Chains A and B, each alone.
Chain A
Amino acid sequence: MIFGILSMLSSRNIILLTFEDVVGIVFIFYSIPTVYSALNNGERGKLTASTIVFLVGVVYLVKSYFEILDTRGIVFFSVLFISGSVLVILFIENIKEKIFLFAGIVLLVLSYISITQFKKFGLFSAANRIGNLFEVFWPVILIVMGMIIFINRKK
């Protein structure tokens, strides 16, 4: 709903927001209450999805407001940071599963190292080459995922 309202207002130039701003704002506004309700109800699927959505929203806003030259480098860092955060939030949901905390911290440390150290080893340029492939083939991934969910819908 918020996405609809904001994109309609921005397309009519009533508010000055880019598409990335709109996506970022919508993702953040959607995910904060969803995380809260999912934590209360113990809905782990929703909790995981809304944590990812929140952090993707943050990435969009950061990308929109700050001049980041190497945008592909963000993907490398974001994948590790978002996965780590998801594991930490799963630990908060069920503190008996300490493995989530341990694995989450490992991924968060790796994400920090990736942004500070890995550039030296040329890993980002290799990631960029893979990113170029994804730029072309990502609709295929959407189709395959859709098919899988469709086939397994009765499970």
Chain B
Amino acid sequence: MDNTPVPLSQIKKFSRSKNNVVLTGVFAGIADYLKMEPANIRVIALLTLLFGGWSVVAYLITASLIPVDKNPIPLSQPEIISLRKENFKTVISGLLILFGFYFALRIIGITGSSRIFILPNDFIFPLTAFAIGIYFLIIKPSKAEIILSGQPEKLFRSRADRKLTGVCGGLAKYIGIDATVLRIIFILAALLTLGIFTSLYLILVAFIPYEEGQKFE
């Protein structure tokens, strides 16, 4: 067994990520240190809010104590854009899961405290909304990013991403959203309108052609 001590310079240091940042890069740093997916850590961290807001205090203390990574791996512009998109989706999905659990627990009858730290909820929630607004103003994507995201000029039914006729797959690609989410929206709308909404689906099936040259999966 090799008992040679590892040089100090090779010991992995715990630092905030400079490349993979949503707020301060703490969770990407933790994920890098533990060799985990940063998205998993972020969603778990969001879910800890269900137990009160003390995790926010812990987060702020950690962010102020841990230094930023001094030697980050340089990323190309497309890599940065794709990372930002992934992080945005992670935050949105985390918030949906968090609110889903929060309201599910309320329906069951488990309600949290009316206060977070020493402040009442009706003060903390508006403050959080205000902070989120400021955050989105700061990270507003540049025009270059919008152009790079590229959307198809023409609407087709998808052969590759299809469950029934490829309408949702094609429409999702055209609009630039997730096909599964669009399918769920279609099903919910059809249920809420007692099936009348399916007339839209039938119209789209009848008039939208399949994309030429695209192969079936």
Partner of A45, one of B107, B176, B180: B176
Q: Give a binary string over A121-138; 1 marks a CB under 8 Å from any B CB, 0 the rest.
A: 001001100110010101
On whether the beta carbons of A96 and B203 are closer than 8 Å, the reply is no
Residues facing A in B117-175 (CB within 8 A) are 122-123, 125-134, 137, 143, 146, 149, 151, 153-155, 174-175
On whether the beta carbons of B129 and A4 are closer than 8 Å, the reply is yes
Total B residues in contact with A, Cβ cutoff 8 Å: 61
On whether the beta carbons of A80 and B193 are closer than 8 Å, the reply is yes
Contacts of A80 in B (CB 8 A): 193, 196-197
The answer to whether A147 and B203 touch (CB under 8 A), given A8-B123, A83-B197, is: no
Contacts of B184 in A (CB 8 A): 141, 144-145, 148
By beta carbon, the residue of chain A nearest B131 is A4
Classify the interface of chain B: helix, strand, loop or mixed.
Answer: helix
On whether the beta carbons of A103 and B174 are closer than 8 Å, the reply is no
By beta carbon, the residue of chain A nearest B39 is A153
By beta carbon, the residue of chain A nearest B120 is A11
- 9 tightest A-B contacts by CB? A1-B133, A4-B130, A146-B96, A142-B100, A143-B100, A4-B129, A150-B93, A146-B97, A139-B104
Between A and B, 7 residue pairs with Cβ closer than 8 Å are: A3-B130, A7-B126, A45-B176, A76-B193, A106-B200, A145-B184, A147-B97
